[in-house]
Amino acid sequence: MLLAIDVGNRVMSIGIYDGKQLKAEWSTATDRRKTYDEYGLLFRDLLEHQGFRREDLTAAAITSSVPPVVPTLEWMCQKYFDLKPLVVGPGVRTGMVIRYDNPREVASDRIVIAAAAYEKYGGPLIVVDFGTATIFDVVSRSGEYLGGVIAPGITISVEALFSQAAKLPRIELVRPQTVLARNTIHAMQSGVIFGFAGQVEELVERLQQELGPAAEGIKVIATGDMADLIVGEVGCVTAVDPYLALEGLRLIYERNQTRGER
């Protein structure tokens, strides 16, 4: 079985794959201060709680937008599971041609998600990842990674309002019944939910205009831990797929195995 680890700035997603089947999935806070022993005990407890044994794991793959956490997780995999993980980065076969000014600048999780989306949905497509940042990635009909857009994410935008504006409270992120608000909390909820929905619609439309004929039949796939909050207000989204990062890790791990290797 494959242990897949997607390290985000706020949340770490963990999956167990038996072949192509996702057998279990967990989320935990990303903590740069944790040692590999602390992570090892956490992972061991999660596995045991779901009935998995350490011996069930035969491989591991990691993608991370938090580089300092990667060595810690590598040591954890080696000490607690006797595995040398595949860390997605330069030199790893992803199956995608990257049309970026400097391909090494593209965060590995963006390529992992784009590869999974193309494998599952075909191209052309736009993947909208709702995480710490809201990221739009564009993949061509032939599977080339063309680039994208990075915008502030929902959570950090709300936290910025709370921390920088003395009279604005911390709010629960839920959809208000109306756009026009008559109290401060509803006004903030309206601005966040409908404002980010409008951002998605506008950026998707502009990307399609720039792509021109190459955008014919384009699909828009939403992923990330905040996707469900916004996509109900967005008409252009084709599908919501919360496990694209984990699926991409499985896919890229398979592409990097030599023929006949387990």
Say if residues 146 and 139 touch (Cβ distance below 8 Å). yes
Instruction: Give me the chain's average pLDDT, please.
Output: 92
For residue 204, the model assigns a pLDDT of 97
Give the per-residue SS3 of 108-148. HHHHHHHHHHHHHHCCCEEEEEECCEEEEEEECCCCCEEEE
Mean pLDDT for the stretch of residues 236-246 = 95
Tell me the pLDDT tens digit for each residue of 22-48: 999 999 999 999 999 999 999 999 999
Q: For the residues of 146-164, what is the DSSP string, one character each?
A: EEEEEEE-HHHHHHHHHHH
Class of 103-248 per CATH? alpha beta
Say if residues 72 and 39 touch (Cβ distance below 8 Å). yes
| Number of continuous H segments (helices) and E segments (strands) in the chain | 7, 10
Catalytic residues: 109
Tell me the pLDDT tens digit for each residue of 144-193: 999 999 999 988 888 888 887 877 887 888 888 899 999 988 998 999 99
Write down the CATH superfamily of domain 2-87. Answer: ATPase, nucleotide binding domain (3.30.420.40)
Between the alpha carbon of residue 185 and those of residues 134, 161, 164, 170, the distances in Å are: 23, 12, 16, 9
Q: What whole-number percentage of the chain has pLDDT above 70?
A: 98
The whole model's pTM is what? Answer: 0.90
Q: Nearest-5° angle of CA 103, CA 109, CA 115?
A: 80
Tell me the pLDDT tens digit for each residue of 194-237: 999 999 999 999 999 999 999 999 999 999 988 988 988 999 99
Mean pLDDT for the stretch of residues 63-89 = 95
Q: Report the alpha-carbon distance of residue 118 to residue 248 in Å, rounded.
A: 10
Q: Using the predicted structure, report yes or no on whether residue 259 has a pLDDT greater than 50.
A: no
Q: Report the alpha-carbon distance of residue 190 to residue 181 in Å, rounded.
A: 7
Domain boundaries for CATH 3.30.420.40 within the chain: 2-87, 103-248
